[in-house]
Amino acid sequence: MKTCFCGSNLDYTQCCEPFHNGTQHALTAQILMRSRYSAYVLKNADYLLSTWYKSTRPKALDFSQENVTWKKLEILHTKKGGEKDDKGRVEFKAFYEQNGQTLVMHEISRFKKFGGKWFYVDGIVD
């Protein structure tokens, strides 16, 4: 059993893996946020790009030069983003190690639902 990276305390196969392999879609903005964090841990660029809103999506993601080790995700606040909503915000802290230092990225992310699926739009990093 491998505990999921997103902090759910569920097994990865029962949590984020079904999103990563395309057998399920996130029902809420927070679930998408968690699955995207796990995708960063795994350097899964394909999943990250496929869940990025078309108008703000970068052409590519390249993790080959990245020297970051993601450690923990902490969800601070969610505004809307439920199953019946069409937009939402998720505020989180992502803890990581880089060059021997423990650092924190604090972001308020915006999400939109399009065609019945949630997508990451953009975020304000603090």
What pLDDT score was predicted for residue 70? 97
List, for residues 15-48, the tens digit of each pLDDT value.
999 999 999 999 999 999 999 999 999 999 999 9
The predicted model gives 105-109 an average pLDDT of 98
List, for residues 65-87, the tens digit of each pLDDT value.
999 999 999 999 999 999 999 99
What pLDDT score was predicted for residue 1? 76
Q: How confident is the model at residue 112 (pLDDT cuts 50, 70, 90)?
A: very high
* Contact of 94 with 34, CB cutoff 8 Å: no
Show the domains of the chain with their CATH numbers: 12-125 (3.10.450.50)
